[in-house]
Amino acid sequence: MTSYKLGIFPEPTIYTQHAKRLYFDMAKKQLRPISPSERSRQLVVTFLHENMGVPYEAIGDAIYPKGEPEKTVASVKSADGFAVLGVQGNGDLSPLENHSHCHFYRAAKSAGIAAIGITNGESIEFLILDDLTGKYKVTEKMFSYKDLCAMHGKMPVNVLNKRKRTDFSISDPSDIVNLAEGYDISGDNTEAKFLPFIINLHECLIDDVIRCEGLKVPGCDYIMDAGEAVAVFNNAGIKSSGDKYRSLLFKDGSGDVIAASIGVLAIERSGHHFKRTYLCVGIDSSEAHHSSLQLAIDDNVTFNWSDQAIVKHDGKIAVGKTGHVKPSDLLQYVRKKSSRLVYENEIYLGRIDISQPLDINSEDMLEFLSRLIEYALIRDSFRAIIKAERESK
């Protein structure tokens, strides 16, 4: 029987939030509570990525139909979302020979999965479906991600597609409109003049083949660029079913981890029947998991000639379900916390060169991201103060 040791990889990094110990899942781009089964999942995710060449974007969760009693440690998806591998774990350290995975075998076979993995958190072994017996048998072969997709007649996820960048100097205006609609990032009434900027920024944020380096946010220590994330950040005004963000990790002054996720989204706010275009910042911290900032691009972005976008914010802010606060009160608070963010009584977030495809590591983009995240965190501390004041009355 051939099994592969998971212990060759470093233990998953442990982060904290208010003394809670967490892992950061590179596949789901989420902070997840530590447990034996979660440790097993993190080691399996690392094995799939490092040893089998599976991109994080292709690693998913369960293969079971809803209601099944067990959960899959991980699954591997093809470009069209078909599961080409399922990995099941016991959640304890029992020997691999003591299989009790009947539900998993049946679910995998029913789903048409030709290869499966079994892990006990320390080792992993692989089995393939025998066409003659209809049963899974242990194999000594180590599959690559491309092998798994080929076995099922599927195409692999191609992360290099993210590198596709639009050349606006030669793009037809109608093509730009169609591209924005295809990305589903432009609002119903967003003017055409904003579309090149919206597309350029969106393509920069989802292109995580190049990772952001050297980002500096006052009061925080930068940990890493976790890449593209499909995440849900709700607040009192918006509901999300899952949108694309760029996820960046920091530690605050107390050592707690903060995930800041930035994305360009078309959102229909509560009480409205049309979508608007927003630049959104989701914050996952010890204090909150929500959409901290929704910057309406139509109202807060202007252009200097044709090659620079100037991004400001009008200071609008809501505090949960208790209602809005005057922008002038937020402006005054921001000025106390970080005077660099205020210019001529406005929240100033940056000036970006849009004459070419945006580079996340360019000086203007790093400054813009720094200001954007700092502003979102200050908004959250302001919210906490206002909420406490209102609850005390």
Specify the range with the lowest mean pLDDT, choosing from 254-258, 284-288, 292-296: 284-288
Decide: residue 301, CB within 10 A, 0-12 exposed, 13-18 middle, 19+ buried.
buried
Q: Is the dihedral of CA 32, 34, 38, 40 positive or negative?
A: positive
- Mean of the per-residue pLDDT values of the chain: 87
Buried b (16+ CB within 10 A) or exposed e, 51-61: bbebbbbbbbe
Tokens of 85: 């591998």
User: Given pLDDT bands bounded at 50, 70 and 90, which one contains residue 267?
Assistant: confident
Q: What is the pLDDT of residue 70?
A: 52
Residue 338 has pLDDT above 90, yes or no: yes
* Residues forming beta bridges with residue 115, ordered by sequence position: 128
How far is the C-alpha of 42 from the C-alpha of 38, rounded, in Å? 6
First vs last C-alpha separation in the chain: 68
Extents of the domains making up the chain: 4-157, 164-392
Tokens of 263: 């994305």
Q: Can you give the C-alpha Rg of the chain in angstroms?
A: 23
Q: What is the pLDDT of residue 162?
A: 60
Residue 49 has pLDDT above 90, yes or no: yes
Alpha-helical regions (H) of the chain = 36-52, 102-110, 145-151, 173-183, 195-206, 297-300, 327-337, 363-392
Residue 90 has pLDDT above 70, yes or no: no
How far is the C-alpha of 121 from the C-alpha of 149, rounded, in Å? 25
- CATH code of domain 4-157: 3.90.1570.30
Residue 169 has pLDDT above 90, yes or no: no
Each residue of 303-327: pLDDT tens digit? 987 789 999 999 999 887 777 899 9
Each residue of 217-252: pLDDT tens digit? 999 999 999 998 887 776 645 555 568 899 999 999
Looking at per-residue confidence, does 306 or 23 come out higher?
23
